[in-house]
Amino acid sequence: MRAFSRLFTFLLLGVSFSLAAPPKEHAYKTKEQISGPRGWIKHIEAPADHRLSLRIGLPQENFDLLEKQLYEVSDPMHERYGQHLSKEQVEALVAPHPDSLAAVNEWLAGFDITEEDLVRSPAKDWIILNIPVSLAEKMLDTKYYVWKHAKSGDELVRTTSYSLPSNLHHHVEVVQPTTIFGRFKPSKATFSILEDLGSVLGLHKGAHISSGSSAVAVDASCNTTITVSCLHQLYNAVGYVPSDTAENGIGVTGYLEQFANNQDLQSFYADQVPTALNSSFKFESVAGGLDDQNISHAGAEANLDVQFAFGITHPIPATFYSTPGSPPFNPDVHTPTDTNEPYADWLEYILGQEHPPYTISTSYGDDEQTIPLDYAKRVCDGFAQLGARGVSVLFSSGDGGVGDGDSDPATHECITNDGKNATRFIPTFPASCPYVTSVGGTEHIPEVAVSRFFSGGGFSDYFKRPLYQEIAVSKYLSKLPKGTYKGLYNPQGRGIPDVSAQGDRYRIFYRGRAASIGGTSASAPAFAGFVALLNDARLKIKKGPLGFLNPLLYTVGVAGLNDVTSGHNAGCGTQGFNASTGWDPVTGLGTPNFGKLKQIVTSPFIL
């Protein structure tokens, strides 16, 4: 302990690591081992000089205290509601113990790795190394291979097990990329170019129809084409004018070389939000992400996200984050482009910002089972840090119903990848993280669960049901006929989604042309837009941002949501779950009624 303390002191003073060899008495012991990943084929040995961006996660000593404070500042009935933590307060709570820092530092020194060779996260709970495969194999007592995905041809450099010295096991929670075989992807289900532009002009000059439970009149054309005006009508926000204040902000994340094109955005604004013409978003590069404005490289997913999130909220300051990485990976290119786990890069970046946007939407995800539990937990804990700082984090729930979405969700067999090859409903991550707000999809007016694809929903196998969901989810499960889908899902798991919004037939502009697009990747930025408007309403009366939404939504906030009671989310050869009165694992608690939610969150009874 005394040697570790001295080493830690030296590091604080900027002194390089000792180059002493690691103690021989600490034999290597397996830290993690998985079965051969389903759908992947071991291809060739990984090139020894291929470089990995290796991330080492150290235990966050006081995360339980952070979680406690997260729930206190997010509970509208708690006296601390809205009293969010500062960046420095959060970092202090998740910082690793000095003993962990010292033990890991000594281990790294045994491989001649100095402070100049690594990057530490702001809280020092992550260490990032850019090293060749040959060194990673020595450090982790493992062998890396190039693995090829049988269906897509995607390739990853991975291993199925790794080890650490026995004394490090309680000082290191996770090392990646090692055993993560995810195929990170956008939650987009449908897309088509609109050839006949004349048929969609003058959309909002016809008859009106009732929206159903919200008792709002909506243009009949919104049953076939969704625009910003449709969403304002349907979700009771017509006439609300947000402020252009630097205090508020809405952000959208972009991955997999999905570029948001400003020329398309201007066409979209001219078509649907003329007051926003000649305005744009702030671009922020994460880990070298590009801002490719060649219109032929515009991404349908990125355009959808920014056009609707920013169209709904103009003139609230808007930011687009570009994080690099594009499968299929070429293992012969000796750069660390195959991490396929960009949340860590983005979280490291955003948690390092003093003032991130108060609302952030992401329309990407992966099958929960492809993300190792320890890594999923660490990523999830990162979202908790954002929530504690007053940021609302929203994710699309996926488009595979209760399945994995890799093929026809109505017929695809859903198989576990734990070596047992059991049939199982496949939840989506990060939507399954209890510290984010998961958004499912609806369609038509009155609204029903979307049917051209199926709104991702179900129950997490990794995360237990949080207390804020207990009443709503237990009520739903109590109404299920006994034995329904027994063994196919975890009835004690965190329920997905939390809420929903329209998710099909969105009219966007893509590479200079009008297009129709759908998926819960449309629902998430739409719902996020109304959250940003709610933050604007609170800021106008000197209240703080909403932050982590779920404790509010599942209590007083439910009165400001439109319950969706029709539809289902087929998958895995089943009809999936049914939408019903109250919360359900298809549409969650329902869609937003901005007028009612605004009354709730600006009430003098809500701090």
- The answer to the question of whether 564 is labelled as a binding residue is yes
Sequence-distant (≥ 6) Cβ neighbours of residue 339 within 8 angstroms: 52, 53, 176, 177, 325, 345
**Separation CA 10–CA 114 (nearest Å):** 12
Closest among 265, 250, 284 to 394, alpha carbons compared:
250
- Measured in whole angstroms, how far is the alpha carbon of residue 111 from the centre of its chain? 35
Any catalytic annotation for residue 221?
A: no
Contact 562, 447 (CB under 8 A): yes
**Separation CA 455–CA 440 (nearest Å):** 5
Closest among 443, 404, 394 to 579, alpha carbons compared:
443
In our burial notation (b when 16+ CB lie closer than 10 A, e otherwise), range 326-346 reads: ebebebeeeebbbbbbbbbbb
What pLDDT is attached to residue 325? 67
Strands across the sheet containing 145-149: 40-45, 145-149, 155-158
Any catalytic annotation for residue 296?
A: no
* Token pair recorded at residue 183: 């195929």
- Measured in whole angstroms, how far is the alpha carbon of residue 99 from the centre of its chain? 32
Q: Please tell me what DSSP assigns to residue 358.
A: S
- Run of H or E residues at 464: strand 458-464
DSSP 188-257: --EEEE---GGGGSSTTSS-EEE-STT--EEEGGGGT-B-HHHHHHHTT-TT------TT--EEEEE-TT
Residues pairing with 42 in the sheet: 147
Sequence-distant (≥ 6) Cβ neighbours of residue 604 within 8 angstroms: none
- CATH homologous superfamily of 186-601: Peptidase S8/S53 domain (3.40.50.200)
Enumerate the domain spans of the chain.
Answer: 2-60+95-181, 186-601
pTM, entire model = 0.91
Q: Please tell me what DSSP assigns to residue 398.
A: -
* Token pair recorded at residue 240: 């609300």
- The answer to the question of whether 563 is labelled as a binding residue is yes
- The answer to the question of whether 584 is labelled as a binding residue is yes
Phi then psi for residue 375, to 5 deg, are -75, -45
**Separation CA 197–CA 275 (nearest Å):** 22
**Separation CA 524–CA 590 (nearest Å):** 13
Count of Cβ atoms closer than 10 Å to residue 603 Cβ: 12
* Token pair recorded at residue 123: 């809280």
> Between the CA of residue 442 and those of 340, 398, 456, what are the distances in Å?
29, 12, 11
**Separation CA 539–CA 545 (nearest Å):** 7
Any catalytic annotation for residue 521?
A: yes
Sequence-distant (≥ 6) Cβ neighbours of residue 397 within 8 angstroms: 187, 428, 431, 438, 439, 440, 441, 455, 456, 457, 496, 497, 520, 523
SS3 556: helix
Cβ-based burial of 208 (10 A; exposed 0-12, middle 13-18, buried ≥19): middle
CA dihedral sign of residues 590, 435, 603, 595: negative
- Catalytic residue from among 187, 500, 521, 523: 521
- Catalytic residue from among 91, 125, 301, 341: 301
* Token pair recorded at residue 60: 């966050």
Place of tokens 């890799």: 406
**Which regions of the chain are under pLDDT 70?**
1-25, 187-189, 195-207, 210-215, 325-341, 404-413
- The answer to the question of whether 146 is labelled as a binding residue is no
SS3 489: coil
**Separation CA 583–CA 434 (nearest Å):** 16
CA dihedral sign of residues 129, 133, 136, 142: positive
